[in-house]
Amino acid sequence: MRLPAGVRDWLPHELARKREIELVMRAAFGRWAYEEVQTPMFERFDVLERGLGYELTEQSFRFNDRRATPLALRPEMTTPIARLVSTRMRDVPLPLRLAYIAPVFRYYDQPQEGRMRELTQAGVELIGASGVDADAESLFMAIEALDNVGLRDARFDINDASVVDGILEGLDLTGDAALIAKSLMKERNIVALRKLGHERLVEFAMSRGGAEVLASARAVCRAPESIAALDGLAQVLDRAQKLGYAERVQIDFALLRDLDYYTGFIFEGYVAELGFALCGGGRYDSLLPNFGFDVPAVGWTAGIERVLIALERRGKHVERRRHRIDVLVAGSDVVAAYERSAGNVVRFATGALDERALIEEARALHIPRIVIATNGSKREIRVTAPPPERLPVTHAVPPEAH
């Protein structure tokens, strides 16, 4: 029997790896003083629609309840948190630092590796803080989180939506022409950009780097907003260098996430093994005002399954011992209860108390100790287990979803 496209089962050792990554992420959030929140898996669609851009609105799973109320499974976590903050946390002193690790649901027409319809996001929202300090906090926290899970060479592209607007204006692209150009830059459609007749725009779309890239943009931008955004990016680069991230953070003017959503600083994190981003985020100052709470915000999210794919391709987390069991108890519930009260993980043997069978069971499961209780007495056997077996590698996407 096949599962619906875009979802998967998690076997015990696979889920254990996933939980490991989530535990590391939670620890990173805690070290940055972020508190975890939880929202419902589905909400009223008209509420979610206030915050979702066009892409996520189109990818939403929608349905009606028995009263014909339009509902939707959440396709991301930022909008539900914006709704939560706007309705229940207005009186909490700002800035708020909130975190989450939660499943979200997106309707991809062709689900594939790294683009499943059910996925797990880990992320944070810094609400009520504007400026470079907040933007840099979001970026550097994402870098540390990926470092902590074992991806210490992840690289990050950064940009600012205001810079791109300034470049387009400086090249005399306005109105519909500017919208078309921005969309083509987001798609990195160099061929179509050349047809617009602006070779300088192609140069900006293809360039990545540091101070030299910023200097080329300064020669074009005239609007105060775009110049301020360039100053902000320069500060982020300088702070990244002081933290030792100079080789891992660079400017990419073609990085344009959801055009209806982000309002300023944006970034994405990558590793060489994957053709898609591991994490991303940015500033979304226009979101909370949609819920009647006019405060700025910035945040980021990482795909847990994508992190697992990257680690598996590097051979990390492929071999793993089975769930640790300290003792195999046979013949007495009381003895088993005593062992558990002592803090041990106990497997209770069912069936006949055949010593050879118990030893074989203990060896197969790598249990170091057996306790056999009979007629009011108990006997302990120490077991020398064979080397741990290599568990099969199961990728973060089932073959049938490709």
Q: Crossing angle for the helix pair 199-206 and 161-170, nearest 10 degrees? A: 160
228 domain residue, yes or no? yes
pLDDT at position 259? 56
Residue type, 75: P
Q: Which domain holds residue 111?
A: 1-154+271-320
- The count of residues in the chain is 402
Residues 21, 93, single domain; the answer is: yes
Q: Which residues are within 8 A (CB) of 133 and not within 5 positions of it... i.e. 6 or more apart? A: none
Residues 134, 15, single domain; the answer is: yes
391 domain residue, yes or no? no
Residues 23, 80, single domain; the answer is: yes
pLDDT at position 395? 45
Residues 56, 128, single domain; the answer is: yes
pLDDT at position 401? 41
Q: Where are the alpha helices (DSSP H) in 219-354?
A: 224-242, 304-313, 333-341
Distance between terminal CA atoms of the chain? 17
Residues 176, 203, single domain; the answer is: yes
The helices-and-strands tally (H runs, E runs) of the chain is 14, 16
Residues 112, 162, single domain; the answer is: no
Return averaged pLDDT per consecutive 10 residues of the chain, 402 residues in all: 93 92 96 97 94 86 95 96 96 97 94 91 97 97 97 96 87 84 84 81 86 90 91 97 96 81 92 92 95 96 96 72 83 93 94 86 92 89 67 44 38
What's the rounded Cα separation, in Å, for the pair 202 and 185? 8
Asked if residue 221 lies in contact with residue 119, where contact means CB atoms within 8 angstroms, the answer is no
Residues 163, 279, single domain; the answer is: no
What's the rounded Cα separation, in Å, for the pair 323 and 15? 11
Asked if residue 14 lies in contact with residue 393, where contact means CB atoms within 8 angstroms, the answer is no
What's the rounded Cα separation, in Å, for the pair 58 and 72? 11
Residue with tokens 């056999």: 372
Q: Cα–chain-centroid distance for residue 373? A: 49
Q: What is the pTM of this model?
A: 0.85
pLDDT at position 399? 39
Residue type, 131: G
What's the rounded Cα separation, in Å, for the pair 383 and 363? 7
Q: Which residues are within 8 A (CB) of 286 and not within 5 positions of it... i.e. 6 or more apart? A: 263
pLDDT at position 318? 46
Q: What angle do CA 56, 60, 64 make, to 5 degrees?
A: 145
What's the rounded Cα separation, in Å, for the pair 399 and 252? 34
Q: Give the total number of structural domains in the chain.
A: 3
Residue with tokens 């399954």: 305
pLDDT at position 386? 58
Asked if residue 370 lies in contact with residue 362, where contact means CB atoms within 8 angstroms, the answer is yes
pLDDT at position 400? 41
- Token pair of 258 as six digits: 């959801």
Give the DSSP per-residue string, 372-386.
EEETTEEEEEE--PP
Per the DSSP assignment, residues forming a β-bridge with 297 are 127
Boundary residue ending a domain (320, 343, 360): 320
Asked if residue 250 lies in contact with residue 157, where contact means CB atoms within 8 angstroms, the answer is yes
Indicate the SS3 state at residue 297.
Answer: strand
Residue type, 91: D
On the question of a cis peptide bond just before residue 95, with omega within 30 degrees of 0, the verdict is yes
Residues 98, 56, single domain; the answer is: yes
Segment holding 86, helix H or strand E: helix 78-88
What's the rounded Cα separation, in Å, for the pair 369 and 28? 36
For residue 314, what is the domain's CATH number? Answer: 3.30.930.10
What's the rounded Cα separation, in Å, for the pair 202 and 223? 21
Residues 342, 199, single domain; the answer is: no
46 domain residue, yes or no? yes
What's the rounded Cα separation, in Å, for the pair 191 and 371? 72
Residues 138, 68, single domain; the answer is: yes
Cβ burial of 225 (10 Å; 0-12, 13-18, 19+) is middle
For residue 340, what is the domain's CATH number? Answer: 3.40.50.800
